[in-house]
Amino acid sequence: MLKCFDCNDKSVFEDLLNKCSTVLGFKGSAFLELVTCDSGEMKEINFQNRGIDKNTDVLSFPMINFTAGAVGGHPLFNKKNYPIDYDINKKSVFLGSVVINLDKVKTQAEEYGHSEEREYNYLFTHGLLHLFGYDHETENDKRLMRELEEKILA
């Protein structure tokens, strides 16, 4: 089971995570944390962690180094296989954090002509795929990531 917790330790994005687990072939028990911020905070986070003085819509901070497409091929996500990343309290492996800029959710929803909810879900899914090793550095990588995002969001 894949779970996500917000700053209040509330479980969020359950439907998207179930779909993502199916699409990626995820097995075991793992979780990630969701952090939300505004544009000023995102710019600061981006600069402090990546040395990039720029505002962005979503950032991901993975705890486990994945090769894109290999999630289903990884060992079962449990304490035995991931002892360093295992959280005793949550009884799950910690995958990392996704940070979403709420200001960008609003402006990009308007720019792309869809709801803020759809944009928020898209940015979360995009960030989650980054945690699993996917990126968009090449056109092929970008196309694969986009296809997975749409399958998960469908």
Indicate the domain borders of the chain: 2-153
pLDDT at 73: 67
pLDDT at 125: 97
Per-residue pLDDT of 42-83, as tens digits, reads 999 999 999 999 999 999 999 998 776 667 667 789 999 999
Element (H, E) at 33: strand 30-37
What mean pLDDT comes out for the span 89-103?
97
Quickly state the pLDDT bin for 10 (edges 50, 70, 90). Answer: very high
Quote the mean pLDDT of the chain. 93
Per-residue pLDDT of 19-36, as tens digits, reads 999 998 889 999 999 999
Residue 91 has pLDDT above 90, yes or no: yes
Give the span between the Cα atoms of 20 and 2, in whole angstroms: 9
Per-residue pLDDT of 98-154, as tens digits, reads 999 999 999 999 999 999 999 999 999 999 999 998 999 899 999 999 999 999 999
pLDDT at 69: 63
Backbone φ and ψ for 37, nearest 5 degrees, come out as -155, 180
Q: Note the CATH number of domain 2-153.
A: 3.40.390.30
Element (H, E) at 21: helix 14-24
pTM of the model: 0.93
pLDDT at 122: 97
Selection from 110, 62, 97 nearest residue 82 by Cα: 62
**Residue 91 backbone zone (phi > 0: left; psi -120 to 50: alpha; other: beta):** left
What percentage of the chain carries pLDDT values higher than 70?
Answer: 96
